[in-house]
Structure 1
Amino acid sequence: MNDAPLGLLFTALAGLIVLSAFFSSSETGMMSINRYRLKHLTKKKHRAALRVAGLLKRPDRLIGVILIGNNLVNILASSIATVIALRLYGDAGIAIATLLLTLTILVFAEVTPKTLAALYPEKIAFPASLILRPLLYLLYPAVWLINHIASGLARLFGVDPTGNSATEHLRPEELRTVVDEAGDLIPDQHQGMLLNILDLEKATVEDIMIPRNEIVGLNLEDDIPTLMQQIRHADYTRLPVYEGDINKVVGMLHLRNVARFVYGDDSTITRDAIRRFSRAPYFVPESTPLHIQLLNFQKEKRRIGVVVDEYGEVLGLVTLEDLLEEIVGDFTTNRAEEQSEEIRPLSDGWFMIEGSASIRDINRNLNWELPTDGPKTLNGLVVEYLENIPDAHVSFEIQRYRFETAEISAKMIEKARVCELPKRR
């Protein structure tokens, strides 16, 4: 090497720096490539993606061959640079070569290629795989030996090198972040629906059910004219049928079946006919998560269920419509719901809210963050905080929200004025 022409040495040094840049960019490009896009391309039988995916199946071997190549190239480059410097500057050339080669490798073989590879991983990784795969076969004995020694050292420190701690599967909270940060890739409306789907497992049917005191149904102990009056003026297509008490539900009557037992005036109608054309009730435990209940509705071919507690007491009704609205938002107009406005805006940021209003509905409609891990209604939240039903109107704060009772009965807080307080610094 000492007798080689300087031109040849400079050419070899430049080639080695290019090779060093190739190995550095290959490492960053391979490790930075989007795994999910890579899976998508492999399903389409993209040749370069298949090569890269094959190399990434054993990242220890891939990194091993890259580091072997990179270190060999850099060591050889330093040797040639030392020879050149000695021939040009004598003994002082060693220090000069060390300084200049370090700067050259950092700029042209490390920082610049790795930056480009991090920005455009596919453009680097795909063509690099054409060289890395045959190079892996060529250097496999050395790669195997080095990885075997490295694995042994890792075990000395209590690390299992075969364990894959970095899984490629996203957790729900990570998937939520991906959807939330999707930007223009997903329309805002669809983005909200996807986030709502991910949130289904955080809520149960108890959170969205129609409470027991609001159930509209048919009591078979009423006389026939009363029953027919309820049927004719019903705001719902399905009505629970019970005997005396809602806990004794015997069926669910779909109003399309009414024509089957209505032939003349009310005198021709019998309670047995109402019972006969009612479908058997479908009972749902109160703690069933919403995403499970959605699948259960599909499996059972049902649209409405009777929510019961652990003792079999009826707590309310849950409908497929209410469950779907948790995903897509309000998509139907219900005349009964129009008639009772549970949340009415007042002045200066205050709202008049019914005590029976669901906390989830309040949070969704007003973009608030009232606690949802306890009581499900505003009345329940207030009573839990006060620990009793007050005899007179009171004012208090829960987190960042001020409450003022407006109507109180012997059994519950009927209405309350609520506003959101400014965030404290």
Structure 2
Amino acid sequence: MINQGWIYLTVLALLLVVLNAVFVASEFSLIKLRYSHFNDALLEELRKVWRFKRILFRVDRTLRFIRLVLMCITLLLGVTLVALLNRVVVHWGIVVEFPEAALLFIVAFFGTVSVQHVIGHLVPRGIALQHPVEVLQATTWIVWPLLLVSFPLMRIFDPLSRTFLRILRLDPDVSLNQLDLEQQVRSLDEDDAVPDFTQRVFKNVISMRDLVVQDVMLPRNQIQYFNIFDGNAINVKLSKSAGHTRYPLCEGDLDNCIGIIHIKDIFRSSVDVQRLDFKKMARPVVYVGPDDLLEQVLEKLLDMRLHMALVQDEFGGTVGAITMENIVEVLVGNIQDEFDSETE
């Protein structure tokens, strides 16, 4: 005769697995909606629904709550399986001593891991990444009420975690956004429909947020510039040998730059080169700092429709230059045109 306790424990274990799958699906649907090229109009429609609005308004907090619940479910499932296996061995009349007890815990551990990984993680993860909207709509009814109930606990746990991080001299304001984004990037590796080049560019875009100007800039000793005191003929001769399209126009050296000369402006002019006024032709020069974020510099160049900026240190000296090509090479790799040699 089946013991009634077995039924309760078995049902509880199954419910925990299902609940784990629900929260895993909700987690990955949120990540998918947050970081993929998604239908913005549909996402705005979701935000208008009261139960979605609170979840989507603070996705980072929702994800922290989901991970807390998943940890609790895993612990409860392990305890439940241990109790269930204990009832089995007692029913069979096996005396549980040290070797048997150790084996019991090992079986419970691997059983929990296997069930959680396959049914409670891999399957709902795959469903959520392919159908994020439908999954979020289906799981919100469970996630949203529990999120409201757990709000007081999160208000306690968050300050505690920040305190411990400060004790360890770590930044307490680091968000989980980067981890969530990395998870989305890793999911690209499993998608055969996404070409390798696209995956590499996407990963480079994510890693660019950690780069600053001095990581990719052209150092001062490699910058070729026009010296206004040398005369137009010498400067044009330099441009022919160097092969670039833009040159800083300087009075003596790079610390006294008065503008940027575009070589097209010279050759488009109907005036003889010797009579050209390079000062009037020069375009404005933009300065950035060596520690400026590369993302911000890229945005600045795009907004100002410029291709080059000089890098200036805190003392006002020019330490290098950065071009749009330098930044693009961070994303797609080395760029060579028909005029570049293999050694450059």
TM-score interval, normalised by the smaller of the two chains: 0.5 to 0.7
Whether the aligned pair in 1 keeps the contact of 2:21 and 2:124 (CA below 8 Å) is yes
- 1:172 equivalent in structure 2: 178
Q: Pick the aligned partner of 1:160 from 119, 143, 156.
A: 156
169-178 vs 303-312, which moves further: 169-178
- Looking at structure 1, the residues matched to 115 and 256 of structure 2 have their Cα atoms a distance apart, in angstroms, of 75
Please state whether the residue corresponding to 1:30 is helix, strand or coil: helix
Determine whether 1:246 maps to 2:246: no
| CA deviation profile, 1:192-243 (whole Å, cap 9, x unmatched) | 2233223324433223222222222221112343234334555011111112
Spell out the pairing of 1:9-408 with structure 2 (5 A cutoff). Answer: 19-33=11-25, 35-38=27-30, 40=32, 43=43, 96=91, 116-121=119-124, 160=156, 170-172=176-178, 175-176=181-182, 179-180=185-186, 182-185=188-191, 186-259=194-267, 261-263=269-271, 265-267=272-274, 269-270=275-276, 273-333=277-337, 335=339, 337-338=340-341, 341=343
Normalised by the size of structure 1, how large is the TM-score? 0.49
- Looking at structure 1, the residues matched to 321 and 25 of structure 2 have their Cα atoms a distance apart, in angstroms, of 49
Structure 2: segments with no counterpart, 5+ residues: 34-41, 95-103, 129-133, 163-172
- 1:411 equivalent in structure 2: none
Whether the aligned pair in 2 keeps the contact of 1:305 and 1:317 (CA below 8 Å) is yes
| CA deviation profile, 1:89-110 (whole Å, cap 9, x unmatched) | xxxxxx64998xxx9xx99xx9
Whether the aligned pair in 1 keeps the contact of 2:208 and 2:295 (CA below 8 Å) is yes
Please state whether the residue corresponding to 1:24 is helix, strand or coil: helix
Report the identity percentage. 19
Structure 1: segments with no counterpart, 5+ residues: 1-5, 82-94, 343-425
Whether the aligned pair in 2 keeps the contact of 1:241 and 1:253 (CA below 8 Å) is yes
- Looking at structure 1, the residues matched to 297 and 202 of structure 2 have their Cα atoms a distance apart, in angstroms, of 18
- Looking at structure 2, the residues matched to 118 and 224 of structure 1 have their Cα atoms a distance apart, in angstroms, of 69
Normalised by the size of structure 2, how large is the TM-score? 0.59
Residue 250 of structure 1, CA deviation: 1.1
- Looking at structure 2, the residues matched to 171 and 327 of structure 1 have their Cα atoms a distance apart, in angstroms, of 21
Residue 299 of structure 1, CA deviation: 2.6
Residue 282 of structure 1, CA deviation: 1.1
Whether the aligned pair in 2 keeps the contact of 1:24 and 1:113 (CA below 8 Å) is no
Residues 220 and 311 (structure 1 numbering): CA distance in 2 closer, same or farther, change over 3 Å? same
Whether the aligned pair in 2 keeps the contact of 1:212 and 1:316 (CA below 8 Å) is yes
Whose radius of gyration is greater, 1 or 2?
1
- 1:379 equivalent in structure 2: none
- Looking at structure 2, the residues matched to 234 and 27 of structure 1 have their Cα atoms a distance apart, in angstroms, of 66
The AA in structure 1 aligned to 2:335 is F
More strand by share: 1
